Structure 1
Amino acid sequence: MKKKTGLFVAMMVGILFILGACSSDDEQAESKDTIKVWTMSPALEEFVKEYENESGMTVKVQTIPWENAHDKLLTAVASGEGPDVLQIGTTWVAEFAEAGTFLDLTDYIDDYENFSPDNFFKGAIETTQYDGETIGIPWYVDTRLLFYRTDILADVGYPEGPETWEDMIDASRKLTARGDDQYALDMPTTDPQFPFMLAWEQGWNYKIGEGAANFEDPAFKDAIELHHLFFEENFSQLEEGKEFFQAFSDGSKPMFFSGPWDIQTIKDRAPEIDGKWDVHLMPKAENNKSMIGGAHFSVFHNSEKVDQSLEFINWMADPETQVAWYKHNSELPANMSAWEDPALTEDPMVSTFGEQLKSTQPLPLIPEFERMGQELLTTLEQINRGGVDIDKALADYRKEVSSILEE
């Protein structure tokens, strides 16, 4: 009996050893042929099946809600346990690059046909470069345009939309004169990037190294005064008011600034105004620069599958893939060659976004700039709602900026 028991144990050990070896082989095979991708775009999981079929690779996509993504990335950096490939929003580049999140791709650029900086919009490339390193490859881009009711703006003399900020002010006065609860523009109050767009258009630029002194520039004050004018003269509603798309549909707020995603949203939410609205390039002052946003694909700094990750990113950066992604998820290609496709050239609204992308600017790539934006929103609230003098408010803002930069 003891001999049988001993033989049984030996057999089981042998079987477990064989199974363990097979399991180890399977894990090695999976490890070699599998990459992990973190994204905030739920549509990517379905989209990458074509790449899996073409390449034989397995792409494990984990979708992270935008509201959780920042903290999850911080945890990954602290633990060193991240994906192989990660999506990074343009406004997070500086913070996470400084934390050492990304593999420097500089030495790989020439090895992949779709990585050349010449392939992409200048503003998109600028947001992939930090402290002499290339932290990612552009995936998709977005920017802001003026959405406007063509029929209502025609009534005040601007059937093709205002060209300049002087036109915007003139049209706004006429639109507000229509009567009670009639406004001109839904002016953004919660977007920390928008006030800087206004400042760029006035000829202002942030120079890294000059700190709070940047905000002494008269052009920056011009932008704050312009923002305040729309609330001071009731061109824009300070309170929340009607639901956003209802106000655009009924004409009580016939202009707003937004990105390409709202083209389809208006078509879905307000079909009754089909043919009565359009998009226009940003109004011009010294220039008509808009912000450039979007996302890049980066390689996590300690990924053991760099080659596999870069092959995937190269596929995602291909013009044909980027057109397919636009058709799949309505996000605009970062690769300029993709804009030659009829899917984009034959849609006048989308092609206007393509034109605006030639006149864009990224936010300064310093980790503190997002906090500066939030503080600026607080400053604007004090001016527009609290009646604080602009000069005093800007002086206080400069103190806050100094404090942020000294931390």
Structure 2
Amino acid sequence: MSVLSTIGRRLRHPTRRRRRIAVLVVASLAAGSLAACGYMAAKPDPKSLTYWASNQGSSLEFDKRTLQPELDKFEQQTGIKVNVEVVPWSDLLNRLLAAATSGKGPDVVNIGNTWSASLQATNALVAFDEAALERIGGRDRFVPAALAATGAPGKPPTAVPLYSLSYALYYNKQMFADAGITKPPTTWEELVAVGKRLTKDKQWGLAIEGANPTENAHHAFTFGQQYGGEWFDHSGKPTFDTDENVKAIKRYIDLMAVDKIVNPSNAEYAKNESQSDFANRKAAMLLWQAAGSAFQAQGMNPKEYGVAPVPFLEQPPTGGRKVNSMVAGINIAVFRRSKNLDGAMRFVKFMTSDEEQVTLNRTYGSLPSVKAAAADPAFQAPEQKVLAEVLNQTAAPLPQVPAESQFETLVGTVMKDLFALAANNKPVTEANIRSRLRAAEQRMKG
């Protein structure tokens, strides 16, 4: 997922609307209405494809300019014209769910990889079984960590990785030097101490996206892993209000509420404003997915910032895991009702080819999802080396369960509300967090 920034990372989804759509999805599956909508029975159109691309760059227009030469190249090779629409992250999931229930939508889509199991449950996407994977070069071409976030375990994935990402800690080198700080923090305790030294005048130690539910949920997952928590049990039922999850969320909210290293105005940030604060020297640190290209688009020289792995707890509790990022990234999928299934599969093969993986991921600052491209010199810069190290060694996929997208909205919104309390100097206690998580869990069950 963005980039994601991504997915980014990044997203705002109206909870009630999302729940209504989810109910419609389940109802349509139960009634077998997907077949009635004409999946696999539409009149073939071998000369064109409709592609919904996610917003990966600094603007929708930037993405169109980036993608169009590649789409023209595909048309020259195959005779198939690709009509692209770049969809904002704030709209993408709702539109995908609506297309899944109506049977009316694009041929090929980008999806945030955290939604893979949720969209898989709609039965609206083509399953990439071993035969389908062979059509695009085989399973072994893909980076294992990226392939792990393509659907529920034990089932054929319904998407394949396109752009891979992980979280990193970005820091302003000059601000660190001015404060006498010689290296980036490796623990949360160090980050807080460093953040306090960097918070002065109109400068803050850390910038966050407090009103961005999905960004919040990503951090809830990572902190939860470090505290030994899980958001779903083995059967896929939510386990939101455990002690570990409560402590994890409190640690993150306390960066503003207690540690005071985050500007209270960040409680309203939801559209990459934290990236702008970092790029414009208003904050000394930022936790983000492959943010370098976004900084450079705002005039920040790569020499001005350093990149380090996200910190860990200094003394992790029993059961705590060495995880400092979710497996972030964007997958590409094919709708089953496509009028040009053969062309859609050819397009997926094209977009995941070694050449295109280098071209597109180099532009977006993300990581290739196929092994051969990942070894290209274009991805050996310091930022990409850190992102790849995290992705391959200390990242974990978010729960691959159908309710994952609801988790992002519900838990992310709880955290949004908690940041609002912190911004207004109201206490954020474990009891308060637990009651809100319990209510979110009940809404999911209900």
TM-score between the two structures when normalised by the length of structure 1: 0.80
SS of residue in 1 equivalent to 2:124: coil
Which residue is 1:128 aligned to? Answer: 150
- Residue 332 in structure 1 maps to residue 371 in structure 2: no
Is the Cα contact below 8 Å between 2:250 and 2:428 reproduced in 1? no
The separation in 2 between residues aligned to 1:321 and 1:169, in whole angstroms, is 41
- Residue 256 in structure 1 maps to residue 304 in structure 2: no
Larger mean Cα displacement after TM superposition, 101-110 or 377-386: 377-386
Residue among 46, 67, 70 paired with 1:44: 67
- Residue 280 in structure 1 maps to residue 308 in structure 2: yes
1:141 and 1:99, CA in 2 relative to 1: closer, same or farther beyond 3 A?
same
The one-letter code of the counterpart of 2:149 is T
Is the Cα contact below 8 Å between 1:182 and 1:252 reproduced in 2? yes
- Residue 360 in structure 1 maps to residue 400 in structure 2: no
Which residue is 2:264 aligned to? Answer: 238
The separation in 2 between residues aligned to 1:263 and 1:175, in whole angstroms, is 21
Which residue is 2:253 aligned to? Answer: 227
- Residue 400 in structure 1 maps to residue 439 in structure 2: yes
The one-letter code of the counterpart of 2:439 is E
Per-residue CA deviations over 1:179-236 (Å, capped at 9, x if unaligned) read 4444311133132322322222333333334745453133641442353144323211
1:2-401 alignment, distance < 5 Å: 31-40=45-54, 41-42=63-64, 43-112=66-135, 114-116=137-139, 118-130=140-152, 132-176=155-199, 179-190=200-211, 191-192=215-216, 193-208=218-233, 209=235, 211-218=237-244, 220-240=246-266, 247-248=277-278, 251-260=281-290, 262-271=291-300, 275-285=303-313, 286=316, 287-345=322-380, 347-358=381-392, 359-365=394-400, 366-367=402-403, 368-381=406-419, 384-385=422-423, 387-401=426-440
Per-residue CA deviations over 1:81-131 (Å, capped at 9, x if unaligned) read 233222222233233222222121214245235341x43344422221236
The separation in 2 between residues aligned to 1:388 and 1:252, in whole angstroms, is 26
CA radius of gyration, larger in: 1
| Structure 2: segments with no counterpart, 5+ residues | 1-41, 55-62, 317-321
The separation in 2 between residues aligned to 1:34 and 1:246, in whole angstroms, is 38
The separation in 1 between residues aligned to 2:79 and 2:228, in whole angstroms, is 51
Which residue is 1:18 aligned to? Answer: none
Which residue is 1:5 aligned to? Answer: none
SS of residue in 1 equivalent to 2:283: coil
Per-residue CA deviations over 1:126-155 (Å, capped at 9, x if unaligned) read 221236231111111222211111232234
1:282 and 1:83, CA in 2 relative to 1: closer, same or farther beyond 3 A?
same
SS of residue in 2 equivalent to 1:254: strand
Which residue is 2:17 aligned to? Answer: none
Is the Cα contact below 8 Å between 2:274 and 2:286 reproduced in 1? no
SS of residue in 2 equivalent to 1:130: coil
The one-letter code of the counterpart of 1:348 is P
The one-letter code of the counterpart of 1:200 is Q
The separation in 1 between residues aligned to 2:252 and 2:45, in whole angstroms, is 56
The separation in 2 between residues aligned to 1:364 and 1:183, in whole angstroms, is 33
Q: Which runs of 4+ in 1 moved over 6 A?
A: none
Is the Cα contact below 8 Å between 1:90 and 1:127 reproduced in 2? yes
1:322 and 1:110, CA in 2 relative to 1: closer, same or farther beyond 3 A?
closer
1:153 and 1:37, CA in 2 relative to 1: closer, same or farther beyond 3 A?
same
Is the Cα contact below 8 Å between 1:115 and 1:317 reproduced in 2? no
The separation in 1 between residues aligned to 2:347 and 2:279, in whole angstroms, is 42
1:296 and 1:310, CA in 2 relative to 1: closer, same or farther beyond 3 A?
same
The one-letter code of the counterpart of 2:225 is W
The separation in 2 between residues aligned to 1:298 and 1:276, in whole angstroms, is 37
The separation in 1 between residues aligned to 2:428 and 2:302, in whole angstroms, is 43
**Which structure has the highest helix share of the two?**
1
1:97 and 1:380, CA in 2 relative to 1: closer, same or farther beyond 3 A?
same
1:77 and 1:389, CA in 2 relative to 1: closer, same or farther beyond 3 A?
closer
TM-score between the two structures when normalised by the length of structure 2: 0.74
State the superposition RMSD in angstroms. Answer: 3.1
